[in-house]
Amino acid sequence: MARQKVTLGGEDDHGDEAEQAADAELRIVAGERAGSEDQAILQLRPRDFGEYVGQGNVMHSLKIAVKAAVNRGEPVDHVLFHGPPGLGKTTLAHIIAREMNVRLEHTSGPALERPADMVGLLSNLEAGAVLFIDEIHRLSSAVEEYLYSAMEDYRVDFVTGAGAYAKTLSFPLQPFTLVGATTRAGLLSSPLRDRFGMVYHMEYYSDEELTSVVKRSAGILGVETDEPGSAEIARRSRGTPRVANRLLRRVRDFAQVEADGRLDRDVAAAALDMEGVDGLGLDRLDRLYLTTLAHQYRGGPAGIAAIAATVNEEPQTLEDVVEPFLLKLGFIIRTPGGRRVTPEGSVHAGVPPGRLGDASSQGTLL
């Protein structure tokens, strides 16, 4: 299993150039190379607590925990971040490692297919290292069990032989910090979730916070923008910094080709309209979901499998990507009988609330 490593924080004899070169690498245990989009994400990623915007409650608690751990000379307690994608979970793992001045190992749940993968990764961790596991809920139960003793006692236990010849071998590990990230905390097993000392829910960003994110990213990318232009991108970014940075790059391209290169409100609005992102941040798939539920299923209730089949999309994609933002806006609700459109959602879908009917007898509750 190929791995690429990055030492965060740098060493005195390497200087800033080595530190910047290290940041330019993307460490993926699965061995995949970083594409241009990944490099852009790394370029815009905050490097420390001072550069990070948003998640005020999480940041306050995390700063205290990290500072206390540094003062004691110990690894920070294990941390679990959960919430919708794009809200900064991976970025915070990088920042923790940098603030602790230790190495970061980055992997993901699907990449750790066998117990040997987990054992090999744990046994090679340096003292104080941060092990970041993205999509940690996708670890298999056989692999997950090796984390229990590793997180609590810094050792790995495994059984060799069989029957009367079976015996348990225990290997000590260096103290380390596990940082887990998941978009579906409910799928984590209780034994694993209980071993995290700090559990944080990542909240959607406000328009003001996202405006600060856009202005910071525009400065890094060398894009000339004003407050209204940044605010227009922020308003359509679904409360998500990752989306804000992605939209900023698309608006930058539009401004360079169709305008004079300067990003103002009119340029941002024209670019995002062309991309299919409306004034509330809904994209084509969001609107297709909403109009399907409002028109074809007369407002619901409708099961997620039925909606997914109608829009030709995977149910998990709708649950993880589309529905959280529609729920945040109050455009849909989840009920025991299925999904329903709210009056606000029906208006946005172009269906007067009075025309919504009861589709419970239409066989949609899948």
Q: Which of 45, 103, 107, 134 is catalytic?
A: 134
Quickly tell me which residue has 């945040």 as its tokens. Answer: 328
Q: What is the pLDDT of residue 141?
A: 87
Distances (CA, A) of 358 to 288, 306, 337, 362: 20, 16, 11, 9
343 by Cβ neighbours in 10 Å (0-12 / 13-18 / 19+) ranks as: middle
Q: What span, in angstroms and rounded, lies between the C-alpha atoms of 227 and 89?
A: 27
Q: Which of 89, 235, 246, 298 is catalytic?
A: 89
- For residue 184, what are the contacts with CB-CB under 8 A and spacing of at least 6? 82, 137, 320
Amino acid at 280: L
Q: How many CB atoms sit inside 10 A of residue 152's CB?
A: 10
- pLDDT-based confidence at 163, cuts 50/70/90? low
Q: Which of 91, 107, 177, 183 is catalytic?
A: 183
- For residue 344, what are the contacts with CB-CB under 8 A and spacing of at least 6? 329, 330, 331
33 by Cβ neighbours in 10 Å (0-12 / 13-18 / 19+) ranks as: exposed
pLDDT at residue 321 greater than cutoff 60:
yes
Contact indicator for 45, 245 with CB cutoff of 8 Å: no
Annotation says 183 is catalytic: yes
What ranges make up the beta strands (E) of 36-195?
A: 79-82, 103-108, 130-134, 155-160, 167-172, 177-182
Annotation says 134 is catalytic: yes
312 by Cβ neighbours in 10 Å (0-12 / 13-18 / 19+) ranks as: exposed
Give me the domains of the chain, ranges plus CATH numbers.
6-201 (3.40.50.300), 207-274 (1.10.8.60), 284-355 (1.10.10.10)
Q: Which of 45, 215, 236, 242 is catalytic?
A: 242
> What is the length of the chain?
366
Tell me the per-residue pLDDT of 322-345, one tens digit each, with 9 for 90 and over: 998 899 899 999 999 899 999 998
pLDDT at residue 33 greater than cutoff 80:
no
Q: How many CB atoms sit inside 10 A of residue 21's CB?
A: 12
Q: Quick one: which H or E segment has residue 255?
A: helix 241-258
Tell me the per-residue pLDDT of 224-250, one tens digit each, with 9 for 90 and over: 899 999 999 999 999 999 999 999 999
Radius of gyration for the alpha carbons in the chain, expressed in angstroms and rounded: 23
Q: What span, in angstroms and rounded, lies between the C-alpha atoms of 338 and 236?
A: 28
Q: What span, in angstroms and rounded, lies between the C-alpha atoms of 112 and 136?
A: 10
pLDDT at residue 16 greater than cutoff 70:
no
- pLDDT-based confidence at 75, cuts 50/70/90? very high
Q: What is the pLDDT of residue 8?
A: 40
Q: How many CB atoms sit inside 10 A of residue 26's CB?
A: 16
Percent of the chain with pLDDT over 70: 83
Q: What are phi and psi of 2, to 5 degrees?
A: -75, 140
Q: What span, in angstroms and rounded, lies between the C-alpha atoms of 95 and 98?
A: 5
The DSSP secondary-structure symbol of 263 reads B
- pLDDT-based confidence at 161, cuts 50/70/90? low
Annotation says 90 is catalytic: yes
pLDDT at residue 9 greater than cutoff 70:
no
Quickly tell me which residue has 């990449």 as its tokens. Answer: 111
Taking alpha carbons only, the member of 279, 219, 275, 209 closest to residue 43 is 219
Exposure of 305 in the CB half-sphere (CA atoms within 13 A): 5
CA 180, chain centre distance (Å) = 11
Tell me the per-residue pLDDT of 135-159, one tens digit each, with 9 for 90 and over: 999 988 888 888 888 888 898 877 6
Q: Which of 90, 107, 225, 364 is catalytic?
A: 90
Please state whether beta strands 338-341 and 198-201 pair in parallel, antiparallel, or not at all (unpaired). Answer: unpaired
Q: What is the pLDDT of residue 355?
A: 61
Instruction: Supply 307's token pair.
Output: 């909606």
Annotation says 89 is catalytic: yes
- pLDDT-based confidence at 209, cuts 50/70/90? very high
Q: For the chain, count helices (H), then strands (E).
A: 16, 10
